[in-house]
Structure 1
Amino acid sequence: MKDGFVKCAVASASVRVADTMYNTASIISLMRSAVQQGVRLLVLPELVTTAYTCADLFLQKSLQKGAVDAIANVVDESRNSDLLVVFGSLIPLHGRLYNCAVVVQSGRILGLVPKQHLPNYLEYYEKRWFKVPSDGNIAVEFLGQSTYFGTRLLFTCTNLPELVVACEICEDLWVPRSPSTDHAVAGATVITNCSASDEFVGKEEYRRSLVKTQSGRLICAYLYSDAGEGESTTDLVFSPHNLIFEDGHSLGEQREQSDTLLITEIDVQKLALERIRRQSFGYDDNMYQRIPFTLEERECTLTRKIDRNPFVPSDAQTMTARCEKILTLQSLGLKKRLEHTKVKQVIVGLSGGLDSTLALLVCVRAFDALKLPRSGILAVTMPGFGTTKRTKGNATKLAKALDVAFTTISISKAVGQHFKDIGHDPAVADVTYENSQARERTQVLMDLANKRGALVIGTGDLSELALGWATYNGDHMSMYGVNASVPKTLVKHLVSYIAQISDPSLKKVLLDIVDTPVSPELLPAKHDGTISQVTEDLVGPYELHDFFLYQVVRFGYSPSKVYRLAQYAFTGIYEPAFILGWLKIFYRRFFSQQFKRSCLPDGPRIGSVSLSPRGDWRMSSDSSVALWQQELETLAN
C-alpha cells in the first residue's frame, strides 16, 4: 500500500451451471490463492455463485437458497484475512430477485450493488428473472448483518483514502451512460466489473476497447472479471477474458484461463493526483453512501512494468510512428511561425551534436512543406576552444547532405578579445570561460538573423531545460525553440529514425552524430583531439534524469516514490546509492534553474510533459527545494 500501490487480481472461477456447492469451492479456492500471493482486492465474475446461464432455474427456491448459502460461506472464509472480495450473485430481497455484486471483507458484507442495466435482447433475457433496481441506496438486513443495498455505494479505504472502489456489472459498461461514470465523478478510483460476457468473433477486441476507453475517460483503474468456459451451454460459448486497465493503459490481460489469478498492482495515488490536475472529479457525491473498510498496511512488491525510458516506446512499430508524429509536430509549429512572420530564412547554430542536428532536420521539413528553397536555411558552425575535428566535420557533412546554406565563423578571437575586455585569464577554464563562448555564439546567430531577415532556431531540448543545462541568454535563447519539448533520450531516436529513411550519405553522418558523446564542447579537447567535456559525466545519465523528470512533472510523485520506481526500473543497471545521488542533483537543479524556464522562447508542445511557462508548467523562480531535500535526506538514512 506504500506510495498508493494496491495489489489486485481478477479471475474466472470454474463453475458448473446451477451447482452452487461446486462454485463456492471455486470461489474460496481463488480467495485463498489471492491471500497467499498478497492480493488486497479480488474481483470474480457475474453470478459466479450459481453460474450466469441458469435461465429459469433462477426462479427455483432451491437455487436461490443455494446462492445465499454460497454467500454465507464466502463471508465465513473472509474472516481469515482482510482481502476485499467482489463477486457476482443473485440476491433475493423484498420479494424480488436482483443480479448483484457482493462486496465482502473480514466477515462483513460491506454492500450489495445491483445491476442497473439488464440486457433483454438477442441471447439475453435477464428481465425475465431479475428486477431493475431503483436509483439510490437503502439499509437492509442480509444474512443477519446490517448492510447497504444500492446503486450508489462507494467503498472507501480508511488508511488509503485514494482507494475508493465502486461496482458495475457486465452490461452496465456497454450502455451509453455507464454507472461507472457517476461513480468516478463521485470519487471512485477503482471500478470493478463482475461480468459474464459470451464470446463470438470480434467481441474480444470490442470488450478490450470498452475497458481501455472507460479507464482512460474516468482516470480510474478498471478491473474486469469475465465468466469462464463452464458457463458454455446450449447456443452460447463463454471463454475467459480478464482485463486490468489503469488510466487507459493495460496492466494485464488474461484469455482462456479459468481458476488462475491475473495479478498486478494499481497505483491509486497516481490516479488521485491526475484527477486533482484535471479538476473534473469528486464533486458530485450527494446521493452516494461511503462505506469504510481498512486494509492492513503491508509492503507491496512491484511486479507491474515500469518503463525505464518513459518517453521512448519499447516496440519498433510504435517507435517509428511516434518519431514521425513528433517530427511532424515540430515542423508544423515552425511552419506556422514562418507563415505568420512571413520570414523565409532561418539560422541554426550547427555544432555536429544531436540537438542541433535535430533542429536542422526539422527546419528542412518545414521548408519543404512550405516549398521554400533549402538555401534559405543557414547552418552556422562556430568552432571555439573545445570544438573537435569530429563534430566540426560532421556539421560540414550534414549541411552538405541536406543541401542547406553553410558557413563557418570561428569565435576564438572574439572570445579572446572579450576576455581582455572583462579582465578574465583565459587559462582559467571556469564558468566565465565556458559561458562567454556560448553567449558569443548566440550573438553571432542573432546578428546574422538581423542581417538576413531570418529567425534564429533554438536547439536546446527538454532535458537540458529541466536541469538548467544552458547558458542564460546564450544557447538558452532563440526566436523559436523547436526541441523545447523533446527529452534527450528521445532526440537520439528521432535522429536515428531519420537516418534509417535517408540516402546512404546522409545516413552515415547521422549515425556518427548519434554515436558522438553529448557535449557542449566548451573546454579544450584532449591531446588526441577527442571530446574532453562529456555532459553525462557532469550532470549524470540522461536516462535517469528523463525518468525523474517524467515522474515528477507528469505525475507529481514525491522524492521517495520517484526513488522507489527508479530502483525498480533500473535494477541491475544502477546501484541505489548512484540513483539517489543523481536524484538529489536533479531536484536541486530543477528548483534552482526555474528562472531560465520562466522566460523561454516559444516552442511546439509535442508530448504530455512540457516546461513552457505559458502552458504546462508554472512555477515560481524562487521556490524553495527544502521540503523535497528533507525527504531525500531521510532516504539516504
Structure 2
Amino acid sequence: MDKNYGFVKVAAAVPLCAVADTRHNCTEIAELIKKAYAEGAHAVVFPELCVTGYSCGDLFFSKTLQDGAYKGISYILDETKNLDIVSIVGLPVFDGVHLLNCAAVLLKGKILGIVPKTYIPNYGEFYEGRWFAPADKASKTEIELCGQTVPITSNLIFDFGDMKIAVEICEDMWASTPPSALHAISGANLIFNLSATNAVIGKSGYRKLLVKQRSFTSHCGYVFVSAGAGESTTDTLYSSHVLIGENGAVLTDETPMTFESKIFYSEIDLQRLEADRKKNTGFCSVLKPASEYKTVKADFNGTPITSLSRDFSRFPFVPGLKSDKDTRMSEIYDILAMSLAKRLRHTGIKSPVLGISGGLDSTLALLVAVRSMDILKLERKNIIAVTMPGFGTTDRTLENAKRLIAHLGATLREISIKDACIQHFKDIGHDINNTDIIYENSQARERTQILMDIANQSNGIVVGTGDLSELALGWATYAGDHISMYAVNCGVPKTLVRHLVSWIGESVLEGEVKKIIADILDTPISPELLPAGENGKIAQKTEEILGDYVLHDFFLYYFMRFGFTPQKILFIAKKAFLGEYDEIYIKNCLKTFFTRFFNNQFKRSCMPDGPKIGSVSLSPRADWRMPSDAEARLWLEEL
C-alpha cells in the first residue's frame, strides 16, 4: 500500500434488496462490487443479511431460503473472481447446530472467512434471538461453504499487508465491550460493520456518535452501512445510514432515502492511524490475548490511488465550524491567560514586560497579558509594554503598537534602539551600511536586553511573543527574541495566531481597539529588521523569504502530528491547495521547512517555558525530544 501513501479507498453499498429474493439481491450485490472496483475501491461492505434481506422473519427457518443464500454467494464469487477488491456481505449460516447471523469476507472467488454476530438483540422491535445464536455458540471453527473450507469465528483478522480488516455486525457496535475494541488491539486497523438499523427519531445521532467514539478509542477506520428502503416496512423503516469514520472524525455521513441502490466512498489513512497507535501507550493495554485470534492472510494489490475524494483543511490548526470555533477560541484564550497568570501568581510578580511591535504575535501576547491581569484582579497598568523602534520600524506598526497599548490600559514605554545599535556596530567594527545577519540580529538582541533589564528594574518577567511556527522554522534570533522568561505564544502556530487575534477582536473587545486590531491583521508579517522601502512601507516580508505560513503550518501539522513522509505531505498539500499554489512552489516551501526544522533544533533545545494548547508542541521537556545535530538528508532526498 506504500504506493498509496497509506490510503485505502473504502466503499459502503446500500443495495435495493427484495425481501427473501436471494437471486435478485446477489445480482444487485455483484453489480455494486463491480462498480466499486471500477471506482478504485479496495474494500466494499454491504448491510447485515443483505443476501436474503434482514426482515425475512420466520422465513430464516426455511431451508429453501438458506440454500438460496448459499447459491447467491456462489454467484457473487463467480462474478467477481477476477476483481482485486475485498467484499463483505451478510447472510445466514447454519453450522450444523445453530443458525448464525454472519458476514462473509470475499476476495477473487474465495471465501476468506465467516464472522458471526456476537451480540444478538432481543428487545423492542428486534427479535433476532428467535432465529439466531450468538457467535460464542458456534459449534465449529470451520465449515464447508460453496465448496470451500472456511474459518468461522468472531475473532478473525484479514491481513492484506498494511490493511488489516476485522468485522462486527450491527448490535456489536452498541455493546459496552464491542468486538471492534478487541479486533483493534489484536492488530485490525479497519473495522467494517454490517447493520440493519431502523430510522427512528434521534437514532442517527447516536450512530454517528458511536462511530466517532469507536474509531477514536481504537485508532481505526470504521465503515458502517445499514439496510435501507428495500427491507419490509411492516413495523419499521430501515435507515440506509452510511458512516465512514477515521480516528474520531466522520468522513462520510449519508442517509439515502431512495428506492435505488447507492454506494459511497472515502479514503482511510492507515499511516495516520499507525502514528497514533505508536504514540498512545494506553492503546497497548490488551484486554484479550491476541493469540485467541485467527489471522487470514491473502495476496492483495488493490487499485493505485491517483486522487483523493476526502478533503484536507488548509488550516489544520484552526477550528472549522463556527459553532466549534467560538468554543475552541475561548478555550485557547483561557489556556494562554491562565498559564501566564499561574506563572505570575507563583512568582509573586505583578508586572509582565512585553516588547510590542505592532505585529500579530506581540498583539496576541499583550491581549493574553491583559486577560491574565483581569484573572488575577490586578491593574492593567502593571503591564509594561515597550515599543523599541529600530532601522526597519514603519510608522504604521509603531502607531498601531502605541494605540493598542493605550486602549488596553497598559503602561507604554518607547525606547529607540537605533543609537545603541549604532554604538554596538562601532564597538565590534561592523559597517552600518552592511545589512547582513549581524545588522538584523544585533537589533533583536538589543531589544531583548532592554526588556530583561526593565524586568529587573520593575520586578517583572519578560513575556515572550514568538509563536510555534517561528520555533519550527528557527525564525528567531538566538539569545534575542528566542529568549524570554515565559513564552506564552510558543504553542500557537502562526495561522492560529491570526485567527485567534481576529476572534478576540470580534468577540471580546469593544470600541476603537477593534479597528486597531483590524489594521494589525492587515499588516504584512515582518520582523522589521531591515530598513523600510522608499515609500515608508515594510520592505522585509517574512513570507517572501520563507514561503507562506499557511503552507508551513500545514507541513508542521502533518509532520509533527502523524510523522508523515515529505512525499505524502506533498501529495495531500497538492490536494488541499489546488488552485492556490502550484506543485513547484509547494515543494520548494517543503524543502525550506525540513531544512530549517532540522538546522534550528538547537534553538528549541533551550526554549523557555510556555503552555501547550493543542496536539502539536515543540517543547524539549514534553512533546518533542530531538538531537540538535540530526541530519535532514533522508527527508530532503524524498523531494
Equivalent residues in 2 for 1:536-551, closer than 5 Å: 536-551=543-558
Q: 2: distance between equivalents of 1:299 and 1:434?
A: 50
Equivalent residues in 2 for 1:115-514, closer than 5 Å: 115-134=117-136, 138-157=141-160, 161-257=161-257, 258-281=260-283, 284-300=289-305, 301-501=307-507, 502-514=509-521
Q: 1: distance between equivalents of 2:95 and 2:77?
A: 18
CA deviation after TM superposition for structure 1 residue 235, in Å: 1.5
Q: 1:470 to 1:204 in 2, by over 3 A?
A: same
CA deviation after TM superposition for structure 1 residue 80, in Å: 2.6
In the alignment, is residue 561 of structure 1 matched against residue 568 of structure 2?
yes
> Residue 90 of structure 2 aligns to a residue in which SS?
strand
Which residue number corresponds to residue 48 of structure 2? 46
Percent identity between matched residues is 48
CA deviation after TM superposition for structure 1 residue 281, in Å: 4.7
- Are the equivalent residues in 1 in contact too, given 2:13–2:264 (CA < 8 A)? yes
> Residue 364 of structure 1 aligns to a residue in which SS?
helix
Q: 2: distance between equivalents of 1:35 and 1:92?
A: 30
CA deviation after TM superposition for structure 1 residue 423, in Å: 1.2
- Are the equivalent residues in 2 in contact too, given 1:135–1:151 (CA < 8 A)? no
> Residue 307 of structure 1 aligns to a residue in which SS?
coil
> Residue 167 of structure 1 aligns to a residue in which SS?
strand
In the alignment, is residue 593 of structure 1 matched against residue 629 of structure 2?
no
- Are the equivalent residues in 2 in contact too, given 1:162–1:272 (CA < 8 A)? no
Which residue number corresponds to residue 579 of structure 1? 586
Q: 2: distance between equivalents of 1:346 and 1:308?
A: 35
Size of the aligned set, in residue pairs, is: 629
- Are the equivalent residues in 2 in contact too, given 1:343–1:453 (CA < 8 A)? yes
Equivalent residues in 2 for 1:499-538, closer than 5 Å: 499-501=505-507, 502-538=509-545
* Structure 1 spans left out of the alignment, 5+ residues: 633-637
- 579-588 vs 17-26, greater mean Cα deviation: 17-26
CA deviation after TM superposition for structure 1 residue 471, in Å: 0.3
Match of 2:94 among 92, 95, 120: 92
Q: Which amino acid aligns with 1:450?
A: N
Query: In the TM superposition, what whole-angstrom CA distance separates every residue of 1:284-321 from its partner, at most 9, and x where no partner exists?
Result: 41111111123225421211111111112333332232
Equivalent residues in 2 for 1:611-622, closer than 5 Å: 611-622=618-629
Q: Which amino acid aligns with 1:616?
A: D
Q: Which amino acid aligns with 1:425?
A: D
- Are the equivalent residues in 2 in contact too, given 1:186–1:281 (CA < 8 A)? no
Q: Which amino acid aligns with 1:361?
A: L
Query: In the TM superposition, what whole-angstrom CA distance separates every residue of 1:154-210 from its partner, at most 9, and x where no partner exists?
Result: 0011xxx32100000000010110000000000100000000011211111111111
- 24-33 vs 551-560, greater mean Cα deviation: 24-33
Query: In the TM superposition, what whole-angstrom CA distance separates every residue of 1:341-389 from its partner, at most 9, and x where no partner exists?
Result: 1111110100000000000000001110111100110100000111110
Q: 2: distance between equivalents of 1:379 and 1:569?
A: 39
CA deviation after TM superposition for structure 1 residue 494, in Å: 1.1
Q: 2: distance between equivalents of 1:466 and 1:553?
A: 10
Query: In the TM superposition, what whole-angstrom CA distance separates every residue of 1:453-479 from its partner, at most 9, and x where no partner exists?
Result: 111100000000000000001000111
* Structure 2 spans left out of the alignment, 5+ residues: none
CA deviation after TM superposition for structure 1 residue 508, in Å: 0.6
- Are the equivalent residues in 1 in contact too, given 2:168–2:193 (CA < 8 A)? yes
- Are the equivalent residues in 1 in contact too, given 2:219–2:273 (CA < 8 A)? yes
Query: In the TM superposition, what whole-angstrom CA distance separates every residue of 1:58-83 from its partner, at most 9, and x where no partner exists?
Result: 01111111111111111112203011
Q: CA RMSD in A?
A: 1.3
Q: 1: distance between equivalents of 2:254 and 2:303?
A: 26
Q: Which amino acid aligns with 2:625?
A: R
- 579-588 vs 318-327, greater mean Cα deviation: 318-327
> Residue 548 of structure 1 aligns to a residue in which SS?
helix
Report the TM-score when normalising by structure 2: 0.97
CA deviation after TM superposition for structure 1 residue 232, in Å: 3.3
Q: 1: distance between equivalents of 2:236 and 2:516?
A: 61
Query: In the TM superposition, what whole-angstrom CA distance separates every residue of 1:262-295 from its partner, at most 9, and x where no partner exists?
Result: 1111111211122112134577411111111232
Query: In the TM superposition, what whole-angstrom CA distance separates every residue of 1:54-107 from its partner, at most 9, and x where no partner exists?
Result: 111101111111111111111112203011001111011123210001100000
Report the TM-score when normalising by structure 1: 0.97
Q: 1:280 to 1:371 in 2, by over 3 A?
A: closer
CA deviation after TM superposition for structure 1 residue 604, in Å: 0.9
Q: Which amino acid aligns with 2:159?
A: T
In the alignment, is residue 62 of structure 1 matched against residue 50 of structure 2?
no
Query: In the TM superposition, what whole-angstrom CA distance separates every residue of 1:313-344 from its partner, at most 9, and x where no partner exists?
Result: 33333223222111111111111111111111
- Are the equivalent residues in 2 in contact too, given 1:10–1:44 (CA < 8 A)? yes
- Are the equivalent residues in 2 in contact too, given 1:78–1:104 (CA < 8 A)? no
- 440-449 vs 263-272, greater mean Cα deviation: 263-272
